[in-house]
Every structure is written in C-alpha cells, then in structure tokens.
Structure 1
Amino acid sequence: MNKNELCVIYGNTPKKMIKEILTHLKIEEDIPKDALIGLKPNLVVAKPSTSGATTTPELVAGVIEHLQSKGFKNIIILEGSWVGDRTSRAFSVCGYDTISKMYGVPLVDLQKDKYKEYDAGGVKVNVCNKAMEVDYLINMPVLKGHCQTSMTCALKNMKGCIPDSEKRKFHTMGLHKPIAYLNRVAKNSLIIVDGLMGDLTFEEGGTPVQMNRVIIGKDPVLVDAYAAELMGFELSEVPYIQIAERIGVGSADTKSAHITELNKDSDVKKITRSRKVEKLARYVEEKDACSACYGSLIHALERLDERGRLNRIKEKICIGQGFKQQEGDGIGIGICTKGFSKSVPGCPPKAKDIIEFIEKNI
C-alpha cells in the first residue's frame, strides 16, 4: 500500500470487515517479524464505542487476530486518555481489559509513562517513551466531530501519545499547530479509521451517527483530508490538516489519491437517534437508506445548520433504496435516487458533495 492510497470497506461487522481489508492489503508484508507493534485506539474518555466517542473494541480484536495469525507476537495497546479521565478506567469501561486477557496483549497506560522532549522543526514537543519505542504504530482513531477543532481523526488521535502536562500546553497553543508538529515526531505506520459510529459534533460522544465504514491509509494528512470531506468540512475549517501538509507530514490532495472501495454498504439498521439527529432528520424522507449514506446526509445537514442555511430547505430530502426506479421533484441523495430531477450521485456520497449540491438547489 502506497501513501497516496486509501482503502474503504463498508458494513456493521467490525471484526469480519477488518480481517477482510487487512487480508486484501497484505499488511504483514510491510512489518518485520520481530517488530514491536503498537495499536493506538481513541479512548479519550471512559465511554463505550456505542456513544460515538471511542474505538470499537471488536475492530481492535480483529486487528490482533489477523496479526497473530501471521505470526506476530510482540503487540501492545497504548493510550493516554484526556486529562479529565483515567486511561485505566477507559481500558476497563471500553472493553480493552477483556481484549488484553483474551489475546495476551499488554495495555500500556501512557498517562503513567515517562517522556522526552523532541524538536519537531522549531516546535518542542514532549512525547511518551513507549510511543516512540514502537517499531510499527497502527493508529486507530474514531471518525467524529470535535468541539474545538471541528473534527478529530488520525492526526489529532496522536495527542494520546503525549503526557497530560503537554496536553494542557497544546490547548494554550490553540491545538492546531502543535497537533500538526506532533505528527512530525510521532509517526504513523498505518491508520485504521473507525468510521462505524462516531459522534456528530463532540469528541466525548453522546450524539452518535452510524457511518458503517472502516478506512485504511498510511498518510495521516490524506486520511484526515478525506475524513473532512466525509463529514462536510472544508480544509480551511480544520487548520491542523493544512499546517501538517505545509510542514511535510503528508498530502491533503484527495483528488489525486487512489481510493479503493472493497464493497458497498447494505445495512439499513439505524441506532436510536439523539435529539440533535432527530431535529436534523425532520428534513429527510427516508426509505430503507443504508447507514453509510444516511450518516453522510446527517453530517451534511449539521454543517448546513452550523452555517445558518438549514432553514432555507423548503422541500423534503429523499434517501434510500425505497426510491430506486422512482422519479421525483425533491432533492435525492445517492445513486438510489438517480431518477429524481435533482439528485446527488454517489454510493455513498460524501457530506461535502451533499452540502455543495443542496446549497445550489435552495
């Protein structure tokens, strides 16, 4: 897999999905047999993954099973939760204690680790020792919103590799610049994005949106630029992505990226909607919509709401397999509504594309 490649798989069976995509990519060919492999999930708070805040444990279990089946034995899970919570508590609540015992994989609490200072090219950054000792780091962020940086994915998830004192300093620096420079020091070998159920707007969960996808890449800047499009953000709204590109961490050029989708989503199961999502769904007429497509629409509507344009929509937005072979005068979302006079192509379309289309038609 090259740095300009992304691979996507859709569905709602995390362990099966991750094994399929890792087998397809043959990641074991890139890893020395005696390498210390570190899995870095997002366990910012002690909340289950169904809240939209943390990395799905079944996804991590699937990665471990794949690696162990290929003969890799030196695997650890490392994380440092946010300052307001304890990593040990998050390991327990999020199901990682169980994973550790089941697979014999140690848990490393980076809140208790020692650290060293590194020069990231003019910016000094303290990074935990164990994060720097790992030979092959698999970054496993959650695709979700963030109250201060708009979104969080691969680049920001590395913030869990710094001590609590450094996390406080990052906030005084405005987050964006130090996050970008951190990634010049703490490097990803592989990124596995948990896009199954991330929060709409908040890193601590509470407003989960079912997105039904796992994304894999090697360039954290490219991964985050793609994630921003999925959630309907312009790159200018997530400054750390542009800063990271400018200082040479990676490329944000998604148009030149080679993106492979291994399948299409077919799961129409919907989670219980929060009040926020219910409010957005008032604009939608849904008939058997796949979760990935519906999730993109919800993110698009949230962005439109933030921009004060949601109330300009005067017609129903139609989405779902139930609209196949039908004609309509409303706004259709996805390939299932291609018979509509106004329809956003894609299966599923990105929130960014939905936003641009709706703004032209309201």
Structure 2
Amino acid sequence: MDKNQIFIKNGTEYKKMTKELLAESNLAELIGDRNKMVGIKPNLVSPSDPSDGGTTHPEIVAGILEYLKENGFQNMMILEGSWVGDRTADAFEVCGYRSLCEDYDVRFYDTQKDKSYVKDCSGLELKICESVKKVDFLINVPVMKGHCQTKITCALKNMKGLIPNTEKRHFHAMGLHKPIAHLNTGIHQDFIVVDNICGDLDFEDGGNPVVMNRIWTAMDPVLVDAYVCKQLHYEAEEVPYVKMAAELGVGCADISKADIQILGEAAEHHIAERRKVVDVADAVEEVESCSACYGYLIPALDMLKQEGLFEKLHEKICIGQGYRGKTGELGVGHCTRNFRCHVEGCPPTETQIYEYLKDYIAKHS
C-alpha cells in the first residue's frame, strides 16, 4: 500500500473483510520485524454498543489480531481511554473488548489509569500517556463519525484517547483544533483501519447510526480525514485541524491526490447533509466545553426539538470551562454551578439534561 491509497471493502462479515483488506494492504510487510510491539487503538469513547454508532466494532480488531498472529506477530497490545465523564473500564466491558482480549490473549492498557510524559509536538508541549512509548507500530482503528464541535471525527482526533483526562480538558480550553493537529506530530499512526460500518454522522457518542457496512485501510490520517470531510459534505478547510495537520507535515489534505480503490463489490452510499447539530447549536453559548458535556447537550436539545419544545426555549444555554466562577441564568454542567439554574454533573447525562430543560421550559413558558 502507498501512502496516498485508501482501500475500501463493503459487506457484513467484518472480521473476514478486515483480514482481506490487511492482506491487500500488505500490512505484514509494512510492519516488518515480527518482534515489534504492535499497538491497536480503537475508539471506545463511552460504554455504548458499537451498533449505536459511537465505538469501534470488536470484530474489526479481532480481524487485525488474527491477521497479525497468522503472519508471525506475537507482541500486540490494545490501548485506549474513554472521554472525560466515562470510565474506560465500563466501555471495555460493554463494547466487547474484555472477551476479545481474553480470546486473543492480548493486554489492554487503560490510558485513563496511565502515567504521562510531556512531549514537544511541533512547538506545542502536550501530555501523552506512557503506554504509547511501548508501541513500535501503531494501528489506529477509528470510527467515521460526525462531531458536534469539530464537524467530523476519524483518524486524527482518535489520538485524543492516548492523552490523560487533564490534557483532554486542556485541549478544549485551547480550542481543540490546534492541539489535535499538533498531537499528531507527537504520536505517529503507522496504519489506519476505519470502522465505517454504522457510525453516527451527527454525534460522537452514537445513538443515530447510519449503516454503511464499509471498512477502509489507509496510511495517511490527514488524507483519511479529508476523505471523511468529502463524504460528509464539508471542505477540508471547514475542519481546521485537518488543514493544520497537513501544514505540520502529518499528511496530505488534498483529496484529489488520493488513490481510492473499492475492493470487491461496490455499493452506492448517498449520505444526506447533516443538520441536527446546526439546527440546535444556536441555542448554546459554548466556551471551552468538554466533548462529553457538549456531546450530551446537543442530542438532548434535539429530543426537545422532536417534541416541539425546543422553540419554547428562549434562554441561551451556557456550557463549558469558561463559565467557572461566573453567574448567569441557565447553564449545563458543573462549571456553571453558580448560575441561577443549572444541570449538575461532570458531565450530566443526555437524559438528565433533557429532563431538566423540559421542566425549565414548562416553568418559563
């Protein structure tokens, strides 16, 4: 496989498809030395079943592990940390990774429990989890999804699972895009297997899966994300971290240079332009909010919209670390605890936000 190539396979036999893609990509040759430690980085953002569209299907990782073992590799590890507000240990269970690790005798590193070190990532010092140092060849296994703050999330942003929770909060304080781009100069992903089976194209946490039954392989994370942008009707420039990462030398953001090959039977997929986030985001005043907090707020607002209640909400909702110590009328999350009305939690759940706002609307209509 060349760095400008993206291989795509359609179907429902996910483990088999993965192994076929890896063989076609000559992954064993790309890794080389059979004694290398191969790290596998899925997306276990939260304890939600992969069928909900937020987390990596374990069948794909099983296919990777089987392929590696069949090609003489014995040193493998899986490493990941869920988003702030959820425990990786819960996602490890719910998403099927405990049984996966037991079946294939592979160690799982929970990066939420990991120590960290500071690394200069092209002029920006960032904290990275110690377990990353153990990896000689990193296989990134992101889910192609929409994101309520960055529009898309796939290869580049998936590296956030390899930084401690304190740094994740810091990323949001810095505005996400710049630190995501710089992080990818500090953590090099050698190979990418994209879970494009049923990702939620609106929300990072899942809940609105769009079944596409595709798996991709690639080597350039910037090109992968540029292609995701195209799939979801965005220009790469509309997702700043994609362009920034390209400028930092992480990869190529020019999708016209991609050699995209459909292996086997092709399947047409028309992805409608996503509007859910745009429709409700104008009601939010967001300053440095964490993904989990904001990620639970937007679907809660969408639920209110579906019930015809959203239009009755006349007060802006404040959310984010930028509201710590400040006062106001209506807030979401612990950072807005000094507001007259606020939904407590770090983060509060989608249901808690929905119920609180529904009650607030009833009292103020």
Q: What's the TM-score, normalizing by structure 1?
A: 0.75
In structure 2, the CA distance between the partners of 1:148 and 1:67, relative to structure 1 (3 Å rule), is: same
Letter in 2 for 1:93: V
Contact 1:48/1:54, CA 8 A, preserved across alignment: yes
Distance across 2 between alignment mates of 1:11 and 1:30: 25
Partner of 2:196: 195
Instruction: Return the offset for 1:206.
Output: 0.6
Partner of 1:10: 10
Distance across 2 between alignment mates of 1:304 and 1:130: 37
Instruction: Return the offset for 1:303.
Output: 5.2
Number of corresponding residues: 279
Q: Name the SS of the counterpart of 1:151 in structure 2.
A: strand
Letter in 2 for 1:144: K
Instruction: Return the offset for 1:16.
Output: 1.2
In structure 2, the CA distance between the partners of 1:307 and 1:254, relative to structure 1 (3 Å rule), is: farther
Q: Give 1:215-226 correspondences, 5 Å limit.
A: 215-226=216-227
Partner of 1:116: 117
Contact 1:15/1:62, CA 8 A, preserved across alignment: yes
Instruction: Return the offset for 1:6.
Output: 1.1
Distance across 2 between alignment mates of 1:24 and 1:119: 36
Distance across 2 between alignment mates of 1:175 and 1:265: 35
Distance across 1 between alignment mates of 2:279 and 2:261: 32
Partner of 2:232: 231
The answer as to 2:188 corresponding to 1:214 is: no
Instruction: Return the offset for 1:236.
Output: 2.3
The answer as to 2:255 corresponding to 1:297 is: no
Contact 2:25/2:217, CA 8 A, preserved across alignment: no
Contact 2:9/2:263, CA 8 A, preserved across alignment: yes
Partner of 1:23: 23
Contact 1:233/1:303, CA 8 A, preserved across alignment: no
Q: Which moved more, 1:164-173 or 1:114-123?
A: 114-123
Distance across 1 between alignment mates of 2:26 and 2:125: 36
Partner of 2:49: 48
Letter in 2 for 1:264: E
Contact 1:221/1:241, CA 8 A, preserved across alignment: yes
In structure 2, the CA distance between the partners of 1:304 and 1:94, relative to structure 1 (3 Å rule), is: closer
Partner of 2:246: 245
Distance across 2 between alignment mates of 1:140 and 1:233: 22
Instruction: Return the offset for 1:247.
Output: 1.2
Letter in 2 for 1:119: D
Structure 1 residue ranges (4+ consecutive) displaced by more than 3 angstroms after TM superposition? 303-308
Distance across 1 between alignment mates of 2:49 and 2:265: 26
Letter in 1 for 2:214: R
Letter in 1 for 2:10: Y
Letter in 1 for 2:9: I
Distance across 1 between alignment mates of 2:201 and 2:8: 20
Letter in 2 for 1:86: R
Contact 2:148/2:277, CA 8 A, preserved across alignment: no
Unaligned runs of 5+ in 2: 281-365
Partner of 1:93: 94
Contact 1:81/1:111, CA 8 A, preserved across alignment: yes
Distance across 2 between alignment mates of 1:216 and 1:210: 18
Q: Name the SS of the counterpart of 2:212 in structure 1.
A: strand
Partner of 1:60: 61
Q: What's the TM-score, normalizing by structure 2?
A: 0.74
Partner of 2:77: 76
Distance across 2 between alignment mates of 1:60 and 1:172: 33
Q: Name the SS of the counterpart of 2:8 in structure 1.
A: strand
Letter in 2 for 1:182: L
In structure 2, the CA distance between the partners of 1:119 and 1:65, relative to structure 1 (3 Å rule), is: same
Partner of 1:286: none
Distance across 1 between alignment mates of 2:178 and 2:106: 34
**How well do the aligned residues superpose, as a CA RMSD in angstroms?**
1.6
Q: Name the SS of the counterpart of 1:157 in structure 2.
A: helix
Q: Which moved more, 1:211-220 or 1:174-183?
A: 211-220
Contact 1:132/1:186, CA 8 A, preserved across alignment: no
Alpha-carbon deviations, 1:246-301, whole Å to 9, x = none?
111110111112111102345xxxxxxxxxxxxxxxxxxxxxxxxx51xx333x3x
Distance across 2 between alignment mates of 1:139 and 1:305: 27
Percent of aligned positions that are identical: 48
Letter in 2 for 1:10: N
Unaligned runs of 5+ in 1: 267-291, 309-362
Distance across 2 between alignment mates of 1:237 and 1:210: 25
Distance across 2 between alignment mates of 1:297 and 1:193: 17
Partner of 2:166: 165
Letter in 2 for 1:209: V
Q: Name the SS of the counterpart of 1:8 in structure 2.
A: strand
Alpha-carbon deviations, 1:158-179, whole Å to 9, x = none?
0000000000000000100000
Alpha-carbon deviations, 1:79-136, whole Å to 9, x = none?
0111111111110000000000001011110111111101112111110011132000
Distance across 1 between alignment mates of 2:45 and 2:152: 14
